[in-house]
Amino acid sequence: MAGPNSERKLEDDGYRPNVGIVLFNNSFQVLWARRRTHDGWQFPQGGVRPDETPEQALFRELYEEVGLTREQVTVIARTRSWLKYDLPPRLRRQKKSRSKSVFFGQKQLWYLLRLMCDDSEVCLDTSTKPEFDEWRWIDYWGAVEQIVDFKRQVYVTALKELERYLPAPFDARRYR
C-alpha cells in the first residue's frame, strides 16, 4: 500500500477523497444501506478529512454511518489505488477554496471488511445527521445491479479487485 502522504493529495485534481466500505457477514453477503435523504441504496462511504488518513476516515465513517467500531470488524483488503467517478453536473458543487474550482466527482479507496460481531450491533443513528435510514444484507454482486449509473463502474472495479480476498467458499463468478 502507498504511504499516507501519497494518499492525502486531496482535491488538487477536482475529485473529493473518499473511502468506500464493503462489509460482509459470515454468509458472504454485504451490507447495503438506504440513504435517508434519497431513495437510493449504496455501500457506506464518506469523505477523507484533510487532517486524517484514509484508514482513519474508514473507521470514523464506519462508526458514523453504521455504528460499528474497529473492534467489531476485520480489515481484509483495500483497493490498490483511488477509483474515480464523475458526479452528474446537477450534483457538482463549488469547492471551498481560493481557487473556486468545481468538484468533478469523488476518488475513493475501497476497503473490504468482515463483520466480527452480531449484526444486531449495526446502528444507523450514531451521528446527529444519520446518513441512512434502513439497511439489509444482499448478494455481493447485487450492489452492481442496484447502484446509480454514475457510480456503477467504480463499484464493478472495486468489487472485482476485492473479491479475491474473500475467504472460501465464496464464489462470485457471475461477473468475471
pLDDT surpasses 80 at 162:
yes
Tell me, what's the pLDDT at 12?
Answer: 63
C-alpha cell belonging to residue 103? 468538484
- Mean pLDDT, rounded, of the chain: 87
Tell me, what's the pLDDT at 171?
Answer: 61
Tell me, what's the pLDDT at 150?
Answer: 94
pTM for the whole thing?
A: 0.86
Tell me, what's the pLDDT at 93?
Answer: 62
CB distance 7 to 18 below 8 Å:
no
Tell me, what's the pLDDT at 39?
Answer: 78
Tell me, what's the pLDDT at 102?
Answer: 65
SS3 content of the chain, % helix, strand, coil (to 5): 30, 30, 40
- Express each pLDDT in 12-55 by its tens digit: 688 999 999 999 999 989 999 999 987 799 999 999 999 999 99
pLDDT surpasses 50 at 5:
no
Please enumerate in sequence order all residues whose Cβ is within 8 A of that of 152, keeping only pairs 6 or more positions apart, or say none: 144
- Express each pLDDT in 86-114 by its tens digit: 988 877 765 454 445 567 899 999 999 99
What is the SS3 assignment for 120? helix
Say what percent of the chain tops pLDDT 90. 73
Delineate the domains of the chain, giving CATH numbers in brackets.
Answer: 17-168 (3.90.79.10)
